[in-house]
């Protein structure tokens, strides 16, 4: 879905004296090995290592290989097969110093097998399943000769207007941080140098999710306390888990673009956090410093970026063009370039490429005969992870699960939508291999299937939106319209509904609506689809909405109309089978929202862990002179952490082991969770803590721990959480991370709103 360009390919470097080879250092000694190599490198060769270029289908392969053999390119992205990357590595092996290339790609939620989008993965609250998805993605990508991914994307998103909400793990600092660590470990496996691992480069550093108004690429203006407390921890968690790389964000932070931000890249990332890995700019970001208005021209942009500590420049020519002149003029120092080169070489070393440049490329005779072969996919694993990520939002009168003997009408523009099922950033996933909802339900019903299908509506009737969504698709439009008039489509769906016992409507967004550069002003299901839902409701038949979308949608009206609602996000290659598993009760849903669903776009932001205020709204009391909007109900449509099951769970007997906690002590918070229904099922027990009085205002509650528990029908378990002083620490006005003595409320619930509470005192 991305426009690939030639920018960044052709650069002619001034020739410099070729240095004589020195005695090689043993490869086991990383620092000595790299220092020795650097001593032999010319300036051109050094600058060449800082170039990361995108390989588009239109690019002249021979020219690229020449550039590589001349030592002018350090790595590529978007070339994703062994046969494509081998000749480039061969070219690197023909270069004077034989420095290997690395091959990168956006492996975000799967590679060949597409797993649910990250927001959906987060909905599983299942670290084991999330880890499995990352490990398989790494194995598949490594088997296709890839060395590094630009993931995980751990930008906290609290404004669902932002299209990239789909690509992150939601609004909560604790949950996203946990997942960040899990994903890094999954990608890197036993080490980034393993043949079946890829290096993780966490993105987008930093605060990209907080762009103003949810408008992509916009500015971020944020207090240091909020940064440290809420937005930075997930990046830190990824780095602490060993992420070898960082991709730098496109946005500015408090007036300075991240790409030119020495505080961010140097003081915070490298000095304070001790990051030793590779910092890559985002696509064209160095050039964009001119547009941001902090650089007069390319020369100044290159200077700002290299000074800030941007090691590799993604797809622009500025380092190659400008660094030699800047060095000559004394505007940058040799060490600015050397530091960057050292990071690039160290990353290649850590990927295992100096020991074996063909570690992931392998031998030609072992190349898969068909890169798209079914045997290369991990369907069973994808189905299992996908069904864990589905969130049941409503189930009035036990409409779900559906009986396989029922006559079902399946309608909606997303019922047969293989591309959308994969979600955005679907790496090497192929639409032809993704299971649509129609396919999934048909398989589940088998020979007895009486499924009646009608499209019912297009994704949108707005031609302008359609054109926007198809803008980047060169070969074929991604969103294809049924040319029949809207009323004809609806009539057909209504007829199908009338002939059926129950209606399943697959509605929501196309995947491109929740993508990079897909910010929205409204969070509704597109109007024409809403017309369809109204018409279906009018038939009086039980109505099940299967939502597909990459951000929370404000489904106020639909919540009333539907008998059951299943939030499926975009659930990947096996999405259709996974959704059918839940619809027919072959799997009992267990997902929980990792992001609040607002009632309307005007309510944003609606994140649950907001700060305390002086005039809070109290439910049940008049709203006058309190903080709320007077024309609508206060509070979310569905709270953070919410999600139903086909069984019921109760929480009772919450207990704290003590009413006080010493700074060095431990407190046990426990609760009895019981499956009071008739089916086995899983739920997520969530622990929230509120620091009641502090030197600064504190959030009304914060997630501090959770456990996903499986209980047989009638079974109960005591769930224990340990609370220590660490769980109570926060960044104060001086950015000191410490806990303050005083009262703390502990809440346990199956979502963030419906909780039981106890208190203790930190001494």
What span, in angstroms and rounded, lies between the C-alpha atoms of 749 and 739?
24
Q: Which one, 109 or 283, has the nearer CB to ligand BGC?
A: 283
How close are the terminal C-alpha atoms of the chain, in Å? 55
What span, in angstroms and rounded, lies between the C-alpha atoms of 545 and 412?
10
Beta strand extents in 261-324 (DSSP E only): 278-280, 313-314
3-state helix, strand, coil in the chain (%, to 5): 35, 20, 45
Q: Which one, 1 or 480, has the nearer CB to ligand BGC?
A: 1
The pair of three-digit structure tokens given for residue 697, joined into one six-digit string: 């205002």
Residue 464: CB atoms within 10 A of its CB come to 8
Binding stretches for ligand BGC (CB under 6 A): 2, 106, 150, 203, 247, 282-283, 516
What span, in angstroms and rounded, lies between the C-alpha atoms of 210 and 215?
9
Q: Which one, 176 or 247, has the nearer CB to ligand BGC?
A: 247
Q: Which one, 80 or 723, has the nearer CB to ligand BGC?
A: 80
Rounded to a whole number of angstroms, the minimum distance from the CB of residue 361 to ligand BGC is: 21
Q: Which one, 216 or 439, has the nearer CB to ligand BGC?
A: 216
147, 155, 216, 282: the catalytic one is 282
β-pair type (755-762, 742-749): antiparallel
Which residues lie closer than 8 Å to 753 by C-beta, 6 or more apart? 608, 635, 639, 641, 642
Nearest to 670 by CA among 756, 608, 729: 756
Rounded to a whole number of angstroms, the minimum distance from the CB of residue 161 to ligand BGC is: 17
β-pair type (148-149, 199-205): parallel
**Rounded to the nearest 5 degrees, what angle is found at the Cα of 372, between the Cα atoms of 371 and 378?**
105
Select the residue whose beta carbon is closest to ligand BGC and give its number. 150
What span, in angstroms and rounded, lies between the C-alpha atoms of 211 and 218?
5
Nearest to 602 by CA among 100, 298, 161: 161
Is position 282 annotated as part of the catalytic site? Answer: yes
The pair of three-digit structure tokens given for residue 393, joined into one six-digit string: 């939002």
Rounded to a whole number of angstroms, the minimum distance from the CB of residue 466 to ligand BGC is: 23
Rounded to a whole number of angstroms, the minimum distance from the CB of residue 203 to ligand BGC is: 6
Q: With residue 286 as reference, give the H or E element that holds it.
A: none
What span, in angstroms and rounded, lies between the C-alpha atoms of 414 and 437?
8
The answer to whether the CB of 53 falls within 8 A of the CB of 9 is yes
Rounded to a whole number of angstroms, the minimum distance from the CB of residue 283 to ligand BGC is: 4
The pair of three-digit structure tokens given for residue 173, joined into one six-digit string: 């600092």
Q: Which one, 150 or 438, has the nearer CB to ligand BGC?
A: 150
Torsion sign over Cα 562, 564, 565, 566: negative
Q: Which one, 391 or 469, has the nearer CB to ligand BGC?
A: 469
- Give the phi and the psi of residue 412 in degrees, each rounded to 5: 115, 150
Rounded to a whole number of angstroms, the minimum distance from the CB of residue 544 to ligand BGC is: 35
Rounded to a whole number of angstroms, the minimum distance from the CB of residue 747 to ligand BGC is: 36
The pair of three-digit structure tokens given for residue 147, joined into one six-digit string: 């060395």
Q: With residue 670 as reference, give the H or E element that holds it.
A: strand 666-675
Q: Which one, 3 or 712, has the nearer CB to ligand BGC?
A: 3
Cα dist. 580→388, 514, 577 in Å? Answer: 13, 23, 5
What span, in angstroms and rounded, lies between the C-alpha atoms of 200 and 147?
9
Q: Which one, 2 or 484, has the nearer CB to ligand BGC?
A: 2
The label of the residue with tokens 């023909």 reads 94
Q: Which one, 129 or 279, has the nearer CB to ligand BGC?
A: 279
Rounded to a whole number of angstroms, the minimum distance from the CB of residue 170 to ligand BGC is: 18
What span, in angstroms and rounded, lies between the C-alpha atoms of 406 and 283?
51
Peptide bond into 401 cis (omega under 30): yes
Rounded to a whole number of angstroms, the minimum distance from the CB of residue 356 to ligand BGC is: 26
Rounded to a whole number of angstroms, the minimum distance from the CB of residue 80 to ligand BGC is: 12
- Catalytic residue positions, numbered: 282
């Amino acid at each position: 879905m991305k426009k690939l360009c030639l920018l960044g390919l052709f650069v002619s470097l001034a020739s410099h004296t070729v240095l004589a080879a020195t005695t090689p250092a043993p490869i086991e000694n990383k620092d000595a090995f790299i220092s020795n190599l650097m001593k032999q490198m010319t300036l051109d060769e050094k600058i060449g290592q800082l170039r990361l270029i995108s390989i588009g289908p239109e690019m002249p392969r021979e020219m690229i290989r020449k550039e590589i053999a001349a030592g002018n390119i350090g790595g590529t992205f978007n070339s994703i097969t062994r046969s494509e990357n081998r000749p480039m590595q061969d070219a690197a092996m023909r270069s004077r110093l034989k420095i290997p290339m690395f091959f990168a790609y956006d492996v975000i939620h799967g590679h060949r097998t597409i797993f649910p989008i990250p927001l959906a993965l987060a909905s599983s609250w299942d670290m084991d399943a999330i880890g499995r998805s990352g490990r398989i993605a790494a194995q598949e990508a490594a088997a296709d000769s890839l060395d590094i991914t630009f993931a995980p994307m751990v930008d906290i998103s609290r404004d669902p207007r932002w299209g990239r909400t789909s690509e992150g793990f939601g609004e909560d600092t604790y949950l996203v941080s946990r997942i960040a660590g899990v994903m890094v470990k999954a990608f890197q496996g036993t080490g980034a140098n393993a043949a079946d691992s890829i290096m993780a480069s966490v993105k987008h550093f930093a605060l990209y999710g907080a762009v103003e108004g949810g408008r992509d690429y916009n500015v971020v203006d944020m207090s240091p306390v909020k940064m440290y407390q809420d937005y930075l921890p997930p990046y830190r968690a990824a780095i602490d888990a060993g992420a070898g790389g960082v991709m730098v964000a496109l946005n500015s932070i408090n007036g300075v673009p991240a790409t030119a931000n020495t505080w961010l890249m140097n003081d915070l990332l490298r000095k304070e956090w001790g990051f030793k890995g590779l910092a890559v700019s985002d696509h064209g970001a160095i050039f964009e410093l001119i547009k941001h208005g902090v650089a007069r021209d390319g020369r100044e942009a290159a200077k700002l970026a290299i000074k800030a500590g941007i090691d590799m420049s993604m797809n622009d020519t500025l380092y190659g063009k400008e660094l030699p002149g800047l060095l000559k003029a004394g505007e940058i120092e040799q060490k600015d370039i050397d530091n960057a080169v050292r990071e690039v070489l160290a990353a290649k070393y850590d990927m295992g490429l100096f020991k074996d440049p063909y570690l992931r490329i392998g031998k030609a005779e072992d190349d898969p005969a068909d890169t798209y072969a079914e045997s290369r996919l991990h369907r069973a694993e994808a189905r299992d992870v996908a069904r864990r990520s589905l969130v049941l939002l409503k189930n009035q009168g036990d409409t779900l699960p559906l009986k396989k003997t029922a006559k079902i009408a399946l309608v909606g523009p997303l019922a047969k939508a293989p591309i959308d099922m994969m979600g955005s950033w679907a790496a090497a996933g192929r639409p032809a291999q993704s299971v649509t909802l129609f396919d999934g339900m048909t398989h589940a019903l088998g020979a007895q299937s009486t499924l009646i299908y009608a499209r019912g509506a297009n994704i949108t009737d707005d031609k302008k939106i359609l054109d926007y969504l198809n803008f980047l698709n060169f070969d074929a439009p991604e969103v294809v319209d049924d040319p029949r008039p809207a009323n004809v489509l609806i009539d057909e769906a209504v007829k199908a509904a009338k002939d059926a016992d129950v209606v399943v409507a697959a509605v929501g967004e196309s995947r491109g609506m929740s993508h990079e550069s897909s910010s929205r002003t409204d969070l509704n299901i597109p109007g024409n689809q809403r017309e369809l839902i109204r018409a279906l409701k009018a038939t009086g038949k039980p109505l099940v909405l299967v939502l597909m979308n990459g951000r929370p949608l404000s489904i106020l009206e639909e919540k009333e109309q539907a008998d059951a609602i299943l939030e499926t996000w975009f659930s990947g290659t096996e999405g259709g089978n996974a959704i059918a598993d839940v619809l027919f009760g072959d799997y009992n849903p267990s997902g929980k929202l990792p992001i609040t669903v607002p009632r309307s776009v005007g309510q944003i932001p609606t994140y649950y862990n907001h700060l305390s205020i002086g005039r809070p709204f109290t439910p049940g009391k008049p709203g006058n002179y309190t903080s709320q909007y007077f024309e609508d109900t206060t509070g979310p449509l569905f709270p953070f952490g919410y999600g139903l099951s086909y069984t019921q769970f109760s929480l009772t007997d919450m207990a704290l082991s003590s009413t006080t906690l010493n700074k060095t002590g431990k407190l046990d918070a426990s609760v009895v969770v019981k499956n009071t229904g008739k089916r086995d099922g899983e739920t997520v027990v969530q622990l929230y803590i509120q620091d009641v009085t502090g030197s600064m205002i504190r959030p009304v509650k914060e997630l501090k721990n959770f456990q996903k528990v499986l209980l047989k029908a009638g079974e109960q378990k005591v769930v224990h959480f340990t609370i220590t002083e660490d769980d109570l620490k926060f960044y104060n006005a001086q950015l000191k991370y410490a806990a303050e003595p005083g009262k703390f409320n502990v809440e346990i619930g199956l979502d963030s709103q419906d909780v039981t509470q106890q208190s203790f005192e930190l001494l």
